[in-house]
């Protein structure tokens, strides 16, 4: 009898381990760190260019940098002639980002949560609504699956004063948050977030969560 119980226990543990490794959450932060240029070659062949600023150049070199739109030329391999290239700047690099949290089951994305879009109420130091357009870090804290329901606790942060380059009051500061996701049958059931740290103001509340029971959400102490 003890042998059968041992074997059954081992099988149940194996099934549980497999189930936990069968799904997972992933985060993604898309950064807008390039120039987007669109135009044409010889006025008939469309062309799109993504140019990243030189990370190792000094500021004087960066300030002198230009695209020389009217003087760019295109040459194909083995061809001695050049074709004129015309480009127009569509967008410039910025601190803005786009952040998502996705749920994968057996390697297939089953649910994608647009965190940037859901944080419409966030404002900067001047009271301007910036949403989650400047998120720089996302960390998965703990997740759990119960039947067809998935629960996730995660933390994220963004600069207190975006585009400040580290200058001014709280120019190098960050605003930190703790988020809760409940997904049921691959549909969003609930989303909540709370601010846990601020460079601008004191956060008196202490937010907590149970690592063994993330389905309980985030509580305040």
Cα gap 170→156, rounded to integer Å: 18
**214, burial (CB in 10 Å: exposed 0-12, middle 13-18, buried 19+):** buried
Q: What is the pLDDT of residues 187-214, one digit of tens each?
A: 999 999 999 999 988 999 999 999 999 9
Query: In percent, how much of the chain has pLDDT > 70?
Result: 80
pLDDT of residue 45: 87
Q: What share of the chain has pLDDT > 90, as a percent?
A: 46
When pLDDT is cut at 50, 70 and 90, the band that residue 164 belongs to is confident
Here the tokens at position 29 are: 């932060």
What is the per-residue pLDDT across 28-55, written as a single tens digit (0 to 9) for each? 999 877 678 888 988 888 988 877 766 6
User: What pTM does this model have?
Assistant: 0.70
CA distance linking residue 35 with residue 90, whole number of Å: 8
Torsion sign across C-alpha atoms 41, 43, 49, 54: positive
Closest of 201, 205, 221, 218 to residue 123, by C-alpha = 201
Task: Dump pLDDT digits (tens) for 2-15.
Answer: 444 444 444 444 44
Q: What is the model's pLDDT at position 7? A: 47
């Amino acid at each position: 009898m003890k042998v059968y119980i041992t074997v059954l226990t081992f099988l149940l543990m194996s099934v549980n381990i497999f189930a936990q490794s069968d799904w997972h959450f992933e985060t993604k932060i898309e950064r807008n760190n390039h120039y987007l240029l669109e135009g044409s070659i010889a006025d008939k062949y469309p062309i799109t260019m993504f140019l990243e600023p030189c990370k190792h150049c000094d500021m004087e070199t960066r300030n002198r940098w230009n695209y020389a739109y009217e003087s760019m030329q295109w040459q194909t391999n083995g061809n001695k002639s050049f074709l004129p290239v015309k480009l127009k700047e569509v967008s410039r690099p910025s601190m803005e980002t786009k952040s998502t949290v996705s749920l994968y089951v057996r390697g297939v994305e089953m649910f994608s949560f647009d965190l940037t879009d859901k944080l419409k109420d966030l404002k900067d130091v001047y009271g301007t609504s910036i949403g989650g357009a400047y998120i720089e870090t996302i960390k998965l804290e703990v997740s759990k699956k119960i039947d067809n329901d998935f629960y996730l606790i995660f933390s994220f942060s963004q600069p207190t004063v975006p585009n400040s380059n580290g200058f001014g009051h709280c120019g190098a500061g960050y605003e930190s948050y703790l988020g809760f996701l409940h997904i049921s049958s691959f549909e969003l059931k609930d989303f909540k977030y709370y601010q846990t740290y601020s460079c601008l103001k004191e956060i008196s509340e202490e937010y907590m969560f149970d690592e063994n029971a993330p389905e309980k959400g985030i509580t305040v102490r």
